[in-house]
Amino acid sequence: MIYPATYDITILQNATWSGTFRATQNRQELSGITIDTGTPTFGCTCHGLSAGDKVIFTGGTTVPCGLTLNAVYYVIAAGLTTDAFQVSATSGGSSISVSGSATGTFYVAEPLNLTGYTVDADIKGLSDLVQVATFTPALTDAANGEFTLELAPATSVGLDPGRYGYDVSLTSAGGARYYWVKGVATVQTTYSRI
């Protein structure tokens, strides 16, 4: 099941706005990250992951050097228990190596395979629901849930300053439609429009 997240954005008139997103599922909070001789073990009670599963990490205040947030990693058999796991940067590879420490709240999730999906995203007035613009979407790594949204200057130049609502829907090949993210799009004036 895909649930909508909230993400507010700011769009400048007569400028390109673009964003890269990754749709995920089964998000869980990590109970901790233990780093032993450069090998991180991720704690997560009853995580339900198996060796070979793809995962991504988000959150955190201090991220260990060598761990990239929102990148795809693979769960490995080494260190895999009901409440802990390790990851590799490649399928079937060895554990990643990190240095430093991890602080803050981290999450793990599985990327949603968007193969066969279409992405749609529109901007509408908050009170009148009149559509004022449509983002141009592109699936950039469908197997790993990655897509981009873009507004070209030719579109953003015509938006009046103010606050609008937007949402992103994902529609499967079978026709099931999910709203994945929504938020407020604040359009700001630019002064050197040509």
Domains detected in the chain: 5-23+114-188 (2.60.40.10), 24-111 (2.40.30.20)
Q: How many CA atoms lie within 13 A of 160 on its CB side?
A: 8
pTM for the whole structure: 0.87
Q: Which tokens hold the place of 164?
A: 């609008």
Long-range contacts of 188-193 (CB under 8 A, 24+ apart): 188/10, 188/11, 188/12, 188/13, 188/161, 189/13, 189/161, 190/12, 190/13, 190/14, 190/15, 193/13, 193/14, 193/157
User: Which pLDDT does position 194 carry in this prediction?
Assistant: 57
Give the tens place of pLDDT for each residue, 94-120.
999 999 988 999 999 999 999 999 999
- What pLDDT does residue 65 have? 93
DSSP-H helix ranges across 45-99:
none
Average pLDDT, the chain: 93
**Which residues pair with residue 80 across a beta bridge?**
none
Question: Mapping DSSP to helix (H, G, I), strand (E, B) and coil, where does residue 94 land?
Answer: coil
- Summarised one tens digit per residue, pLDDT across range 77-100 is 999 999 999 999 999 999 999 999
Query: How far apart, in whole angstroms, are the C-alpha atoms of residue 99 and residue 116?
Result: 39
